[in-house]
């Protein structure tokens, strides 16, 4: 187990190192003067001189790379061309919104997907099974941004059940501690703030949750079907165990292992989906930050974004792999 | 040569004994595919999509992205269906049906070119890794690991950001995300065959490694590659739309591109939801077609796989 963690952390360092080289080469490969590229349209001779001195663009390339690496190690990811704000602090400020959205989407997917997949497998070939299989196919092929636009039109513009955009009504004077608005409301006992944030969260979470939901239904169904045909389940039945006990201890426990690993693999898809969902619902998370950065070619933000996400992504996958070993003792042995 | 011919490589699509005696593996697979209703639906959708994309100039009533009727679009309303425009106009004053038909064209071109490039580069990497093994394998797989450690949309965004906006960078961006998929697939397929009797036999006959890999092992990997390519095309259609949704496509916002049409439709969602509905449905139906066809191909080529 420990060797696994050490090896994976080693790989992570390697990956980040490789990425930093690529990202460094990227800005160097931009046409023209790198200082001018970093400053974008706002480049003035004085600004160019300052950036050139600060990043050492007049020095040899390998020295520049070392400086860049040193900055990264100290947590300096550069500043946005457009706002001048340090990339890292903007991330810290916006990350809770994205996490809140992703967690809500994942929660929704698990709470709906696991029972649905289980029931579909128990009644294989039935109406529910066909609906679940068909629905999960739809979940895969309907783009998340289209679903988001559809939900927004039908449920908020047309029916008016949910707010169209944002995270919380601006008129609510809410106290923010953690940056997770729903949680903040609960902590400060501002119930109306929490309720309002929740209402804002429903549609984006539905849209984003469609990706993991489809996959969770499929995997749960397939893995329950597999476990159902195994000898130990037949034995449990033969010795007259209660149905509920068989379902919980013998079927679900074994069937949920593959589901838990796929959750980790969903991290990347969730993140990509969050970028798209946030733009539709105007949520100020890191997704919309990326959207703006792409559209304004804000290189420092893009650079920082890629490094940061690769780090988060790798750590999430590491945690999932380790937890898999904790859940299933057989993994530890091999 | 006769000694070589005697050793028939195992057919990649395993032939089922029942009712398919006398059929080659590919013929048997073709027969299974034709009997799979969802595969037929997929094939029909894909066929229609390709047809529309190729024949767009003939089918479309007007030229794309002209903005010819811009005067009829007001800040509060976009003209809906009329005798001249079956689906109405888009918010830039072009014919909506024309935009949709040409959108199929750019989706097909970008999807196919990017998948072809992704497949080619991924295949070379996978063949090097799986065919040569040793340090080449380690090096290639480390590169693939790095590529896989970046979420595909982000990888695509960074490629597109480096190359600047436009259709070419979207193509390369999507292929960059596909390279690791194909590299892994081919490597795994080659590794699985390495120990098989027919490979050992070929080697003992004195065939060179390159000839064994290219002439015998690769053809056996064709089935899985074909399946994966079809499924990847479904993802590619969605990713093309996602990238142009993010603003990485052509600089001209009026261009006939499904993802871009969806973005601009958002500004007028309340007054003209059809502007979002049609391109969204087009993306979903196309992706559904490729997915159904891909899964039917998988079942046809590997009868053991459970539905």
Nearest residue in A to B288, CA atom: A141
What are the DSSP E strand ranges found in chain B? none
Task: Report the alpha-carbon distance of residue B235 to residue B117 in Å, rounded.
Answer: 15
Task: Report the alpha-carbon distance of residue B259 to residue B281 in Å, rounded.
Answer: 11
Nearest alpha carbon to residue B248 among A266, A275, A204, A148: A275
| B134-154 per-position pLDDT tens digit | 888 888 887 787 777 677 777
Confidence at residue B120, expressed as pLDDT on a 0 to 100 scale: 93
Residue A334 has pLDDT above 50, yes or no: no
Task: Report CB contact under 8 Å: A146, B158.
Answer: no
Best of A139, A294, A301 to substitute, by most chain B Cβ atoms within 10 angstroms, is A294
Q: Are B113 and B171 in contact (CB under 8 A)?
A: yes
Confidence at residue B161, expressed as pLDDT on a 0 to 100 scale: 66
Confidence at residue B7, expressed as pLDDT on a 0 to 100 scale: 47
Residue B8 Cα, gap to closest chain A Cα (Å): 34
Phi then psi dihedrals of residue B225, to 5 deg: -65, -40
- What average pLDDT does the segment B215-243 reach? 85
CB proximity B236 to A under 8 Å: no
| A36-53 per-position pLDDT tens digit | 666 666 677 777 777 777
- What average pLDDT does the segment A236-244 reach? 77
CB proximity A44 to B under 8 Å: no
Give span(s): CATH 1.10.3720.10, chain A: 89-143+205-333
Confidence at residue B3, expressed as pLDDT on a 0 to 100 scale: 45
- The partner residue sitting opposite B287, judged by closest CB among A141, A269, A310, is A141
Size of the A and B interface in Cβ pairs below 8 Å: 110
Residue B262 has pLDDT above 80, yes or no: yes
Instruction: Determine the 3-state secondary structure of B18 from DSSP.
Output: coil
Longest dimension (CA), chain A: 84
What is the DSSP code string of A256-299? HHHHHHHHHHHHHHHHHHHHHHHHHTT--SHHHHHHHHHHHT-H
Return the bridge partners of A86, or none. A79
| A59-69 per-position pLDDT tens digit | 777 777 887 78
Return the bridge partners of B89, or none. B95
List domains and CATH numbers for chain B: 19-301 (1.10.3720.10)
CATH 1.10.3720.10 describes domain A89-143+205-333? yes
Residue B117 has pLDDT above 90, yes or no: yes
CB proximity B266 to A under 8 Å: yes
- What average pLDDT does the segment B274-301 reach? 87
Residue A274 has pLDDT above 90, yes or no: no
More confident residue, A289 or B156: A289
Residue B14 has pLDDT above 70, yes or no: no
């Amino acid at each position: 187990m420990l060797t696994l963690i050490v090896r994976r952390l080693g790989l992570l360092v390697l990956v980040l190192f490789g990425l930093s080289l690529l990202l460094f080469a990227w800005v160097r490969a931009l046409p023209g003067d790198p200082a001018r590229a970093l400053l974008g349209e706002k480049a003035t001779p004085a600004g160019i001189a300052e950036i050139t001195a600060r990043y050492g663009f007049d020095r040899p390339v390998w020295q520049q790379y070392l400086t860049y690496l040193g900055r990264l190690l100290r947590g300096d990811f550069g500043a946005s061309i457009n706002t001048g704000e340090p990339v890292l602090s903007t991330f810290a400020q916006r990350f809770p919104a994205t996490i809140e959205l992703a967690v809500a989407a994942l929660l929704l997917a698990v709470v709906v997907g696991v029972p649905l997949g289980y029931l579909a497998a128990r009644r294989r070939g039935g109406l529910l099974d066909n609906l679940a299989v068909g629905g999960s196919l739809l979940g895969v092929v309907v783009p998340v941004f289209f679903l988001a636009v559809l939900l927004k039109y039908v449920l908020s513009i047309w029916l008016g059940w949910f707010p169209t955009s944002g995270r919380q009504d601006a008129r609510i004077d809410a106290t923010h501690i953690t940056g997770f608005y729903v949680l903040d409301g609960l902590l400060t006992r501002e119930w109306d703030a929490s309720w309002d944030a929740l209402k804002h969260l429903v549609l984006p979470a539905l849209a984003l949750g469609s990706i993991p939901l489809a996959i969770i239904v499929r995997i749960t169904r397939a893995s329950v079907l597999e476990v159902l045909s195994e000898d130990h389940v037949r034995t449990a039945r033969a010795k007259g165990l209660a149905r509920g006990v068989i379902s919980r201890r013998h079927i679900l426990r074994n069937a949920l292992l593959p589901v838990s690993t796929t959750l980790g693999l969903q991290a990347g898809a969730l993140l990509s989906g969050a970028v798209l969902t946030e733009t539709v619902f105007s949520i100020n998370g890191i997704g919309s930050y990326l959207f703006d950065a792409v559209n304004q070619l804000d290189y420092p933000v893009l650079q920082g974004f890629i490094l940061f996400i690769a780090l988060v992504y790798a750590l999430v996958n590491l945690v999932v792999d380790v937890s898999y070993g904790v859940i299933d003792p057989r993994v530890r042995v091999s | 040569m006769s000694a070589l011919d005697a050793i028939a490589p195992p057919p990649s699509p395993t032939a089922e004994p029942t009712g398919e005696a006398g059929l080659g593996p590919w013929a048997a697979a073709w027969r299974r595919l034709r009997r799979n209703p969802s595969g037929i639906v997929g094939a029909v959708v894909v066929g229609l999509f390709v047809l529309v994309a190729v024949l767009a100039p003939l089918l479309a009533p007007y030229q794309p992205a002209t903005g010819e009727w811009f005067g009829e679009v007001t800040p509060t309303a976009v003209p809906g269906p009329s005798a001249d425009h079956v689906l109405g106009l888009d918010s830039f004053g072009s014919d909506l049906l024309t935009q949709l038909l040409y959108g199929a064209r750019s989706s097909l071109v970008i999807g196919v070119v990017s998948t072809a490039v992704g497949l080619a580069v991924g295949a070379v990497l996978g063949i090097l890794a799986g065919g040569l093994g040793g340090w080449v394998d380690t090096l290639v797989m480390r590169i693939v690991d790095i590529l896989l450690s970046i979420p595909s949309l982000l990888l695509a965004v960074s490629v597109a950001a480096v190359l600047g906006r436009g259709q070419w960078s979207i193509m390369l961006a999507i292929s960059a995300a596909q390279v690791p998929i194909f590299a892994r697939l081919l490597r795994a397929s080659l590794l699985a065959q390495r120990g098989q009797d027919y490979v050992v036999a070929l080697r003992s006959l004195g065939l060179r490694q390159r000839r064994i890999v290219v002439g015998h092992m690769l053809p056996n990997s064709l089935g899985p590659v074909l399946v994966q390519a079809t499924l990847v095309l479904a993802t590619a259609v969605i990713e093309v739309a996602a990238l142009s949704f993010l603003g990485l496509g052509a600089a001209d916002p009026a261009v006939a591109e499904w993802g871009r049409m969806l973005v601009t439709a958002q500004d007028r969602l309340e007054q003209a939801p059809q502007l979002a509905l049609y391109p969204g449905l087009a993306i979903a139906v196309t992706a559904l077609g490729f997915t159904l066809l891909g899964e039917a191909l998988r079942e046809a080529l590997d009868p053991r796989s459970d539905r």
